[in-house]
Amino acid sequence: MLRLTHTFLPAMVERGEGRILNTASVAGFEAGPLLNVYHATKAFVLSWTEGLSLELEGTGLSVIALCPGPTTGE
């Protein structure tokens, strides 16, 4: 996620348009026992996406985080 953004963001800013969609999770909104690294990783994705979105205000770019909930294994 970070490397892809670092690679493609400069051209998007230069063009003045673009969209970045990062996949986070509802797990990023709270701590999770026995899955704490997963929850912390998703919290990073959320926080980083929000910060990047603020930094890019007024550039014509949008950055959003998709936060799906739990799914079944079927």
Catalytic residue numbers read 38
> Taking a C-beta distance cutoff of 8 angstroms, is the pair 47, 3 a contact?
no
Count CA within 13 A, CB hemisphere, residue 61.
24
Q: Residue 30 phi/psi, 5° resolution? A: -155, 160
